[in-house]
Chain A
């Protein structure tokens, strides 16, 4: 029966002993240990967060680089395309210009030829007129009485004209 009847003396000692143990442990063991653990947990969490942040930043950087590259590529393509286009247009233009210039030159040449032709014709006409006048004058001067002499004279003048 005395196995299950608590001893007052032991209760007293146990109370005192456990109270002292608790006070000492709480002040000198649990407080530093728990605060150190908490601090370390905080430090670990902070560094994990930082690592996560760095990782994200890195990913952002990579993404940004990729974006920049992509943009550069697009720009390059754009430049190439526009350059090609421009070159094509330039060529087209040059071709057109050359053609039109040629046409214009031909046109001008034609016009010049025409003008020259007109001028020549006018000249011929003037000369013919002058010669006609001259023939007429000579005819009148030589006293053209006979028929054959008249014909001979005309043929002579015609021959002259041909020579011209």
Chain B
């Protein structure tokens, strides 16, 4: 089994080197050999799957721009691609996509909002679709066969649903957990499936994108603070049992604390997922930097190893994000705050 695996990794690295040989040799620079890492980590206006020889296997994505003067405008990302270099840079309808894959306007005085279906937005739709497919498939079982043991997708989903309900929502939120369980379930499954799909080769780094994590964290922030009861707010603005001079220090700390919570959520998920992707891609990048079969074998082994760890991290991060959201909500809806 192991010997088979070594042989397979040899083969894979040989094939990868053979295909990349021409393009890497042409550029020569080390930065170009590892540039794909940051390119993968970041968002893009096209979905690039592979480069075989000089043929780029790319899914063009719609570019949607909203500007006050021109309203909504729709283009295809291919309009901005230089047909010779296959890179962005061509000007189209007053816009161009720069080296960092960001849409820029030619006339600097105009302001616009880039609402394009980027690679990550497409990935978002994919994650939503997969999540919906799985969960609706599971729920149909309960509609068809109530009071019978779960089968099919339901048997896969049910233990996780029960885990989120009984181990995350109930102990951290308390008696009012039922109101927040649907949110926590949606959060858990979205992040988890996003993390897992993000590990697929060619997939976008959705849950490792700070815009996604900050959005999820802000939703938790709003859910927490809009449901905060009197005791929670009293604790923030006038911490009970603290002498007045100390309140001057405590209250700003508590108010900052309101915002550090979503910040911590944002950064934790973003860093954990992005770092994992960078580690995997770095090991692959080593093959191209050293151009050696030995490194290829070692790197492939390491990539497999890290990938397995990433499967774990994907689950842990989904759990941690959901758990902390539940804890923040729980602190806001608890019947009585801390007893000082």
**Contact, CB under 8 Å: B121 / A13:** yes
Q: Which of A18, A28, A34 is in CB contact (< 8 Å) with B190?
A: A18
A9 at the interface (CB under 8 A from B): yes
Within the complex, the shortest CB–CB distance from B212 to chain A, in Å, comes to 5
Q: Taking beta carbons and an 8 Å cutoff, which residues of B are in contact with A?
A: 38, 41-43, 64, 100, 102, 113-118, 120-121, 124-125, 128, 131-132, 135-136, 138-139, 142-143, 146-147, 154, 157-158, 161-162, 165, 178, 181-183, 185-186, 189-190, 209-212, 214-216, 219, 270, 274
A24 close to B132 (CB less than 8 A): yes
Chain A contact surface mostly: helix
- The distance in angstroms between the C-alpha atoms of A37 and B166, with both chains bound, is 12
Contact yes or no, B139 A18, CB < 8 A: no
- Measured between alpha carbons, how far is A154 from B21 in the docked complex, in Å? 189
B65 to chain A: closest CB distance in Å?
9
Beyond A30-B181, A33-B158, A37-B158, 18 additional contacts (C-beta under 8 Å) are A3-B274, A4-B210, A7-B118, A7-B209, A8-B114, A13-B121, A14-B211, A18-B186, A21-B186, A21-B190, A22-B182, A29-B139, A30-B182, A33-B138, A33-B154, A34-B165, A37-B162, A39-B146
- Chosen A-B contacts, 23 in total, with CB atoms closer than 8 Å, are A2-B100, A6-B209, A7-B118, A9-B115, A9-B116, A10-B43, A10-B215, A12-B113, A12-B115, A13-B115, A13-B124, A18-B215, A18-B219, A21-B132, A25-B182, A28-B135, A30-B135, A30-B181, A30-B185, A36-B143, A37-B162, A37-B165, A39-B146
Is B113's CB under 8 angstroms from A33's CB?
no
Q: Check: A60 CB closer than 8 A to any chain B CB.
A: no
Q: Is the CB of A9 within 8 A of B114?
A: yes
In the complex, are the beta carbons of A29 and B135 less than 8 A apart?
A: yes
Contact of A33 among B128, B142, B214 (CB under 8 A): B142
A30 CA / B165 CA spacing, docked (Å): 11
- Determine if B131 and A25 form an interchain contact, defined as CB atoms under 8 angstroms apart: yes
- Sort A-B residue pairs by CB-CB distance and give the 7 closest, nearest first: A36-B142, A6-B211, A10-B211, A29-B135, A14-B215, A30-B182, A26-B182
- Is A95 part of the binding interface, using a Cβ–Cβ cutoff of 8 Å? no
CA distance A10 to B43 in the complex (A): 9
Docked Cα-Cα span, A34 to B162, in Å, equals 9
**Residues on the A chain within 8 Å of B114, using CB:** 7-9
